[in-house]
Amino acid sequence: CNYFSTYICFHFVNAFPLILLDLLPAKNGEEATMQFLLELVDILTNYVRKSFDRSTKVLDFHHPHQLLEGMEGFNLELSDQPESLEQILVDCRDTLKYGVRTGHPRFFNQLSTGLDIIGLAGEWLTSTANTNMFTYEIAPVFVLMEQLTLKKMREIIGWPSGEGDGIFSPGGAISNMYSVMIARYKYFPEVKAKGMSAAPRLVLFTSEHSHYSIKKAGAALGFGSENVVLLSTDERGRVIPADLEAKILDVKQKGYHPLFVNATAGSTVYGAFDPINEIADICEKYNMWLHVDGAWGGGLLMSRKHRHKFSGVERANSVTWNPHKMMGVPLQCSAILVREKGILAGCNSMCAGYLFQPDKQYDVSYDTGDKAIQCGRHVDIFKFWLMWKAKGTIGFEQHIDKCLDLSQYLYDKIRNREGYEMVFDGVPQHTNVCFWYIPPSLRGMEHNSKEYREKLHKVAPNIKAMMMESGTTMVGYQPQGQKVNFFRMVISNPAALQSDIDFLIDEIERLGRDL
Amino acid sequence: CNYFSTYICFHFVNAFPLILLDLLPAKNGEEATMQFLLELVDILTNYVRKSFDRSTKVLDFHHPHQLLEGMEGFNLELSDQPESLEQILVDCRDTLKYGVRTGHPRFFNQLSTGLDIIGLAGEWLTSTANTNMFTYEIAPVFVLMEQLTLKKMREIIGWPSGEGDGIFSPGGAISNMYSVMIARYKYFPEVKAKGMSAAPRLVLFTSEHSHYSIKKAGAALGFGSENVVLLSTDERGRVIPADLEAKILDVKQKGYHPLFVNATAGSTVYGAFDPINEIADICEKYNMWLHVDGAWGGGLLMSRKHRHKFSGVERANSVTWNPHKMMGVPLQCSAILVREKGILAGCNSMCAGYLFQPDKQYDVSYDTGDKAIQCGRHVDIFKFWLMWKAKGTIGFEQHIDKCLDLSQYLYDKIRNREGYEMVFDGVPQHTNVCFWYIPPSLRGMEHNSKEYREKLHKVAPNIKAMMMESGTTMVGYQPQGQKVNFFRMVISNPAALQSDIDFLIDEIERLGRDL
């Protein structure tokens, strides 16, 4: 018996003897169902336990062709005939075995890391309830939780009395897409019925460091990616307001219509916060929509110490904020928040009679589905609501502050350390610490030489590949503009400690020493 | 101790004494974490057990203001301070208590019903793994499962060797939106960069009975909802091909460009299947994109008995197919399938360097994120893959056939029964059975009179309201065109039996008798 099974293993001494047709809704299927679920929970809780155990690997890497060939009998192919429930449980074990432990204290690879136990509980409940957000009728509790949570988020943003609108969407890219749609609807409502030809040529502005979803939204929604103008940034990756104004004037001179500015609050690579107040001044001057993409930075709004980086956010017309990133909520959990009430419904409603009947017995203003671009919508709110209950606002604040402290620890550790070079100067605004590791063989070389740049460009990918092969830790890298590949360390993992940061640096040096 | 607790309750004789900070990642947090999760699982499995128990209610209805006021201490408000874990577990219990049991054998309210135990297990595992579909790097197993499953679905559609493209999206509306985007990209690729002004006025065609998401996509993507032309249908709700051709010619004569036809395979209200082959002939003749919206009907492709309703589907350029509807997969699980390989990436890729590095050590063609309009993407595949493993293709077929048999049972039961009138004649093509219940007080009245129509219009809402108050069963209703409110019965619930159909009819008569 393993750890968790000590509670229950006496019930499962034999091989699992059941088949699918023994489970509910089969008559007398209760016991078999409970046994099957309990056996599964045993697998899952073991995985949870191991995910937090530093003596386990972050991943056990295999190439696609290896997994496709079938590792030790793990067969991914689907067939006409059913498998036994025993095999299903083995499949579950194998699925976890060959995956990546994103909750591991040394997993730093993405903006979303960690495994929050309350969030996990919330997701387990959500999938057990298995309902849909489109009407109060079939999701009364979840619909109300969403409304109350969105209101709370708007209060934190600083909109008076938390008034406004909003919805949870399947991710930051879709939330950002919403912002562009409603900006267009606000200024050119006739586009909804008549299409883009009813408006002048509309232009969107966003930082060259911003998330690619703004450009994707521009392409998808019919603006065209060329009508998404990229703004220059300072050395730290923050939009230069004067560049914004110059580009707006340029666009106006060409006879186009400047519609929308996206200010990034926590850019993906540098963690930069654009100066919202100065951008808001410009938006007011030119009567433009201001969106703040706080997908990554949003969590900092909950920290009294760090929320000043969002100064001016209450002047935004819309805000993207992904609790599934910095706040450690399980995927997916992203909100688009809007200052003007009713505009989401105005923009998106099509009044489908089969779903949103006006003649229900309850107050149908709670049927919020028609303001979404989706029809069915997954319940993303519950895990977040439950975490908020369990942590309180102060618990989120503590988590955010701790992650930023850890990031400062890393920055202090490496900024003057031999073999490291920072990608930009100064303390990071978010938890993003961007740096090059320079192996000894490169340290004497002329930094501007082509050879040096080519060699340095390969260092991070090489170290990362070795990291994944050894499975000890994971951290991201990428080039940016003219800058060759560098590591982007981000910390959102609640399990990470200073010793894990030390481990990462040791590991980079161990793997990169002889490059 | 309740049923499930007999296995474990001896461990939880006291009130739950733990607090959040006792849980992982706390040092020595394992035991507390295991206890907390086990206690939660006890709540969830009890809910599962009750969901299948016909002696329990489908729901315990309360108005929004009642829930907001706090039912028996169930406080939805969020606060600054944390709650105890004991209270968290109470919150979980209350959340389920005041929700709707969508897995109950008598829940017929939506296209997605039922609670599949294997699918549930899949979701629990998915949330435990808590990863993201955008790269192979952090979701190796899930990315491969998605590829293999999409290929299998394309084979079932009938595309040679299952070649083509596809992706799982957050729902049918987004899948349909993808189809419009890629159709535009296929014929007018310059729109991606230059916007809608680079193309002539583009027109989309879809049935007046089709899902509203086509119109929403038209509005969102910059075509304009007026450029979504609605097609007339026959008495059964199927598109009339001659009407399509006439409307295409009309559009061409105006100088606009007919781009895209959506053929619905299983309409939301009538369950109608548009004649795909005849529509495909017209699309070929006018060089248009053919999309088949099989969000609801898709499951029938797996039935040898019923797949003839999809005749011609292999001629489609794209297909929406939601396993979370007719196939009983937990929400969310929707696929957009595309015949032409590479076009999704062509349409959507923006090549974000921080995420999709070309210099990884593995075959980066498995990094599929850039073909999505999302960035982060929830793992929707695993539960579906696991169900397919457990059921086999034949298991899905049996489920589909059984649901259609049940629907035929209902149809046969009421078509000549006193007090019922069918909304359209003939055996339903899908499980949708649309009917009016005529209370005795209305039976002698002139059917065309205004008074009769007004009274009949109120019957279904009244019965539905009483159903919800008594919590015994749930079924949908809506008007359609000139037709006043009628019941739309759909059967996708694997737990439903003939006796549940009998119960529904008895209940309608019990509640509606005196109206």
What is the pLDDT tens value at each position of chain B, 515 positions in all? 343 443 443 344 345 567 888 999 999 999 999 999 999 999 999 999 999 999 999 999 999 999 999 988 999 999 999 999 999 999 999 999 999 999 999 999 999 999 999 999 999 999 999 999 999 999 999 999 999 999 999 999 999 999 999 999 999 999 999 999 999 999 999 999 999 999 999 999 999 999 999 999 999 999 999 999 999 999 999 999 999 999 999 999 999 999 999 999 999 999 999 999 999 999 999 999 999 999 999 999 999 999 999 999 999 999 999 999 999 999 999 999 999 999 999 999 988 777 788 899 999 999 988 999 999 999 999 999 999 999 999 999 999 999 999 999 999 999 999 999 999 999 999 999 999 999 999 999 999 999 999 999 999 999 999 999 999 999 999 999 999 999 999 999 999 999 999 999 999 999 999 99
Measured between CB atoms, which of A100, A120, A479 is closest to B353?
Answer: A479
| Nearest chain A residue to B9, by CA | A7
pLDDT tens digits, one per residue of A497-511: 999 999 999 999 999
Residues of B in contact with A39 (CB under 8 A): none
- So what's the pLDDT on residue B13? 39
> A224 vs B198: CB contact, 8 Å cut-off?
yes
Measured CA to CA, the distance from residue B422 to residue B431 in angstroms comes to: 14
In angstroms, the separation between the Cα of residue A503 and the nearest Cα of chain B is 17
Give the CATH class of A164-353.
Answer: alpha beta
Phi/psi for A45 (5° steps) reads -70, -30
ipTM of model over 0.95:
yes
In angstroms, the separation between the Cα of residue B417 and the nearest Cα of chain A is 25
Output the CA torsion B308→B314→B319→B321 (10° steps): 40
> B377 vs A171: CB contact, 8 Å cut-off?
yes
Burial class (CB in 10 A: 0-12, 13-18, 19+), A444: exposed
Residues of B in contact with A16 (CB under 8 A): none
| Nearest chain B residue to A434, by CA | B354
> B138 vs A100: CB contact, 8 Å cut-off?
yes
Residues of chain A with CATH 3.40.640.10: 164-353
In angstroms, the separation between the Cα of residue B270 and the nearest Cα of chain A is 11
Q: What is the mean pLDDT of chain A?
A: 95
How many Cα atoms within 13 Å fall on the side-chain side of residue B219? Answer: 27
Q: DSSP of A81-94, one letter per residue?
A: SPPPHHHHHHHHHH
Residues of chain A with CATH 3.90.1150.170: 4-101
Question: B131-383: what fold?
Answer: Aspartate Aminotransferase; domain 2 (3.40.640)
Measured between CB atoms, which of A91, A109, A117 is closest to B386?
Answer: A91
| Nearest chain A residue to B493, by CA | A25
Residues of chain B with CATH 3.90.1150.170: 389-512
> A92 vs B478: CB contact, 8 Å cut-off?
no
Residues of A in contact with B115 (CB under 8 A): 24, 128, 130
- Beta-bridged to residue B421, according to DSSP, are B436
Q: Do residues A223 and A258 touch, judged by C-beta distance below 8 A?
A: no
- Beta-bridged to residue B483, according to DSSP, are B480
> A376 vs B352: CB contact, 8 Å cut-off?
no
Q: Does the structure show a pLDDT above 50 at A2? A: no
In angstroms, the separation between the Cα of residue B318 and the nearest Cα of chain A is 18
In angstroms, the separation between the Cα of residue A11 and the nearest Cα of chain B is 8
> B332 vs A480: CB contact, 8 Å cut-off?
no
| Nearest chain A residue to B77, by CA | A148
Which CATH architecture is the domain A4-101 placed in?
A: Alpha-Beta Complex (3.90)
> A213 vs B131: CB contact, 8 Å cut-off?
no
| Nearest chain A residue to B169, by CA | A170
Measured CA to CA, the distance from residue A418 to residue A313 in angstroms comes to: 39
Residues of B in contact with A372 (CB under 8 A): 173
Strands A289-294 and A433-437: unpaired
Burial class (CB in 10 A: 0-12, 13-18, 19+), A427: exposed
> A461 vs B212: CB contact, 8 Å cut-off?
no
Interface contacts (A, B; CB < 8 Å): 522
pLDDT tens digits, one per residue of A128-162: 999 999 999 999 999 999 999 999 999 999 999 99
Q: Where are the beta strands (DSSP E) in A369-473?
A: 420-422, 433-437
- Among A359, A478, A484, pick the best mutation site for testing chain B contact (most B Cβ within 10 A): A359
| Nearest chain B residue to A83, by CA | B390
> A195 vs B226: CB contact, 8 Å cut-off?
yes
In angstroms, the separation between the Cα of residue B271 and the nearest Cα of chain A is 13
In angstroms, the separation between the Cα of residue B289 and the nearest Cα of chain A is 17
| Nearest chain B residue to A489, by CA | B354
Residues of B in contact with A362 (CB under 8 A): 63-64
Measured CA to CA, the distance from residue B169 to residue B340 in angstroms comes to: 18
> A110 vs B95: CB contact, 8 Å cut-off?
no
Give the CATH class of B389-512.
Answer: alpha beta
Least confident of A182-196, A364-378, B298-312, B496-510: A364-378
Residues of chain B with CATH 3.40.640.10: 131-383
pLDDT tens digits, one per residue of A221-234: 999 999 999 999 99
Residues of A in contact with B224 (CB under 8 A): 191-198
Q: DSSP of A341-391, one letter per residue?
A: TTHHHHHH----TTTS-TT-SS-GGG--GGGSS-SS----HHHHHHHHHHH
